[in-house]
Structure 1
């Protein structure tokens, strides 16, 4: 009897450890009921910082959950490059109810869709000779989805806490649109977060500056039900910034990632020069220059990262 109890206890401990390991895995495994009284406000209070997976490709900590009415995507990232990519180009959340890891014939939502042109003025700085380092005068700097002008040569620009708080608030205030693809009763279009379809989304920042994100999609709009749950495939993509040549030969930046997630994600931010090679018009100008790793960081801003997973709706 004692031996049997020991075996049962060992099995229970092992099972618990395995469940914990799965929860902290690279891709979520298993179905999860959402907490009661979910409020989509970007603050994540009801989720208690309890996420199902930490994805190494996208640098996102995330959970997919559901109740009887909604499918939820909840995530956060403390990585600044990932955070900037999200606010510049949005996250594409693709749901293939045929359980195929393909975007074709799938539902897709892109959020946030931030208009960089509307926000650029608040963070634009004139160029100069010396002072703080940065891109050349007339260039546009993508910082957490914001845009600012060049700042002369010298030391790298350091953002103080008040400016950072102001930037976060402006980003949240501007994140008011969602782009939809593949919904039968909704034309492919950009809609407000205040919409008649009950699709909800919000972003925020926690006390440590990590970007937080919530999305709720009605199950009925996906043709899903907890009465007869079935497995489906999903994709989460942190979109890169698109660079397009403008009519005058200049470069235009737009969010939404590669492959047609739309031209508006990053507000079609314009730049005159983007160089980090130390030549004329390079970062910093004069005696200044890009900080270590600047080129790699810029490259990553243009590179979408994504992963596929599978999920089955959790019953009550």
Structure 2
């Protein structure tokens, strides 16, 4: 079989990405609609209960998301399909803030950040291998399944912490296996899309579905240090100062550096009964 290179392969990838981009363009930039969470919702990193469909695609954070609620919990389901954004989420985490009132400031609000990793035990996820996946081919399907299993095993083993801010009577770091009313999980699917799910008890947020409470929300994809850019090797001394930086693969590094900075979006949501 003839190997495609250069322009032909770029055209092929563009054609494969077109349905995803077109779908994103049809969605609103910010979710404002109230959504009743499915009765079978699970915080397992799998968007099956949503049929892999989302309320919005936000261009600032370059991710799909849906906010929903039931009588007891508020949910955020977010999905990223770009390898640069997935790398950013894994290494910087997603911070979801709930702020009562009309101000657009997280001060005085409640913020939940996940995933959070021990700095000495961070996951090594080869997100760049996603570039080798061409949906529909037997070899790529096999590669996708293999990557999904390996990467998810790493994430399940290492993603054990959730960071909190503004939650009364709870520590700033809690186990993801906590019994405090906050659950989170993020995993890869067969198409190597990365799905993040979060559930927070409404009582922790001092919100009530019965009262149809309205609040502002913020979704932030946190800044990532250059240490976690593929193609760059950083050496630091004991106080954290960079003493050497080796750009081993400039082309690879450049594709990720554009997604290092923190990005966020604001919206308003009204709880549904």
TM-score exceeds 0.5: yes
Give the corresponding residue for 2:179: 196
* Aligned equivalent of 1:295, options 241, 254, 269: 254
Aligned: 1:86 with 2:89: yes
Question: Contact 1:61/1:77 (CA < 8 Å) preserved in 2?
Answer: yes
**What residue ranges of structure 1 are gaps of 5+ in the alignment?**
1-19, 124-141, 146-159, 252-271, 277-282, 284-288
Q: Is the 8 A contact 1:95 1:107 kept in 2?
A: yes
Give the C-alpha shift of residue 176 in structure 1: 1.7
Shift of 1:163: 5.8
Aligned to 2:102: 99
User: In the TM superposition, what is the alpha-carbon distance from 1:296 to its structure 2 partner?
Assistant: 4.9
1:310 and 2:259 are equivalent in the alignment: no
Does residue 229 in structure 1 map to residue 212 in structure 2?
yes
1:74-127 Cα deviation digits (max 9, x unpaired)? 01111111101111010000110123210110100000002352246xx6xxxx
Is residue 180 of structure 1 aligned with residue 164 of structure 2? yes
Q: Cα offset for 1:23?
A: 7.7
- Paired residue for 1:152? none
**8 Å Cα contact 2:84/2:255 also seen in 1:** no
1:23/1:52 contact within 8 Å kept: no
CA distance 1:246–1:224, change in 2 (3 Å): farther
**2:138 maps to what in 1?**
none
1:44 and 2:35 are equivalent in the alignment = no
Count of residues paired in the alignment: 228
Contact 1:87 1:144 in 2 (8 A): no
Q: Quick one: structure 1 residues 166 and 228, their matched pair in 2 at CA, closer, same or farther if it must change by over 3 Å?
A: same
The CA deviation string for residues 229-276 of structure 1, in whole angstroms up to 9 with x for no partner, is 22111100111124697535643xxxxxxxxxxxxxxxxxxxx63343
Q: CA offset at residue 295 of structure 1?
A: 2.5
The 5-angstrom pairing of residues 117-156 of structure 1 reads 117-119=120-122, 143-144=126-127
Residues 179, 50 of structure 1: CA spacing in aligned structure 2 closer, same or farther, 3 A cutoff? same
Counterpart selection for 1:68 from 49, 59, 71: 71
Structure 2 residue aligned with 1:214: 197
CA distance in 1, matches of 2:55, 2:177: 28
1:247 aligns with 2:238: yes
Say which one has the larger Rg. 1
Q: Is the 8 A contact 1:229 1:313 kept in 2?
A: yes
Equivalent of 1:33, from 29, 32, 36? 36
Instruction: State the shift of 1:217 in Å.
Output: 0.3
The SS at the match of 1:73 is: strand
CA RMSD between the two structures: 2.7
Q: Equivalents in 2 of 1:29, 1:23: separation in Å?
A: 15
Distance 1:85 1:194 in 2: 24
| Gap runs ≥5 in structure 2 | 1-22, 129-142, 228-235
Q: Report SS of the residue matched to 2:169.
A: coil
**TM-score, with normalisation over the residues of structure 2?**
0.75
Tell whether the 8 Å contact from 1:62 to 1:76 is kept in structure 2 after alignment.
Answer: yes
